[in-house]
Chain A
Amino acid sequence: MRSTRLLLVLLGLATLVMTGCSTDWFFVKNLSTYGDKVDDIIVLITAIAVPGFLLTITAMVIFVVQYRRGKGNKAEYIKGDTGAIVKVIIILDVVVLLLDLLILFHTLDTFYSIDGEIVKKESSWILPIKKGNSLVLPTGANYKLEVPNAEVLEVNVTLSQFSFTFSYPGKDGILGTDDDIESTGVFHVPVGKKVVIHITATDVIHSFFVNTLRLKQDAIPGRTITRWFEVDKEKVEKARKRPKFDWNKDINGVEIHDLAKAIVGMRTQLGDANYGRTQTKIDNLKAVVSAKKDVKNAEKDAKKKADLERGIKGTETRIQDYKAEIKDVNSGKTKQEMDQKIKKLKQLYENAFLGQRLVEIACAEICGADHTIMNAWLIIDSKEGFKKWMVQKIKDE
């Protein structure tokens, strides 16, 4: 029984570790008002499922050790169609069902706090909804915005291969008119204000995913789906761990918008260097193979053949150049330049409070050959800073 006791102790320790860990240990820091609820449901499931799993596996290990044939154990004839063991299994099934219900109630609460707080249902096609003192009978899904427009910022988010475009209301303050302000690849939002986004796609299915806000929504061509979020000011300030800071500037006093521009520029340079090389290599190799095939087919036509051979030579030269470039990158000056750029970019991220003011937006749904590089930035601004940016944008337009 010593082994049994040891296993039980280990089980207890593992459960403590798994359920006792801070959520920060697992998750990217959350900055939205509802994100904690999403994290909480994940912790709740962990607290239920992990001990359940460990208990089952511990029982299995105990049975294997305790009743192994080497010890001379003779098996007992237990069919398990009736008797105490059946009761045990039924009780365990009921426990699982009850725990499922516990998860269910919490997960629905979480879901409705995301889906229902701003974009609230008037009625449902399945259940009657309480409205005032009366119940509204099911009449089909019907949604409306409950918050007055003045209190929210509405933005159209359009995804297409392979970019994000954000449209804000322009001078007239109405979204969807000719004077809308557009921003590609950078999504400016004010802190502490509800942002309602209308997401759509122009070509294939994409996904609008902001990990730091716990927000994910597929963008479907032909449909516009409305979601919302609010960046919690307290969470941003807490995450930054600085009691005093200027919302509009980075730690060196550089305007945050200028910093964002610098980061986007640096990213493009590095991205071209990293991805461009691989893609060029593959495209060139494919071109050589295809051109060689064409030469074979064009054997009879001397002029065509000569043209094609020139083409091959050109491509081969490009490959040679490319190889030389790679050599530079890997061993010489270019590598040093790249390293410096990366170092600089890291510094810029740090200055811009990566994960706190500067946040990744990604497309999480595979959407074509360049899906890998389909991303954008969310810049979290103070209300004043955001206003200033809008005014500047309107002027520029």
Chain B
Amino acid sequence: MPSIAAFADELQALVDLYIAEMPERIEELRRALSSSDRVQLRRLAHRLKGSAGQYGFPDISAQAAALERLVCENADSSTIHDSALQLIAQCDERAQLCIAAREDKA
């Protein structure tokens, strides 16, 4: 069994990778939003709800859950739009913060 320290490094590497992929997720969200693809939007929000929680970003997870609920409840377009933009802004902000923190350490 690898040491706890080795595992912490491994976890950090996983989080880094997750953050590195954030622009891709944001792009997918934007595309679903601009093409009014609600099925895809719901799916992306659902995935983000699960994965963001798993990687230690409960605020993103909560916002994604809110968006998923709005799409499920068939809320009006502008409400969904606002919620999705908020989610995108949050993803972007958290990713920037993480990258900045990493650079500070290095």
Genuine A/B complex: no
- Residues of B participating in the A interface, judged by any CB pair closer than 8 Å: none
- Residues of A participating in the B interface, judged by any CB pair closer than 8 Å: none
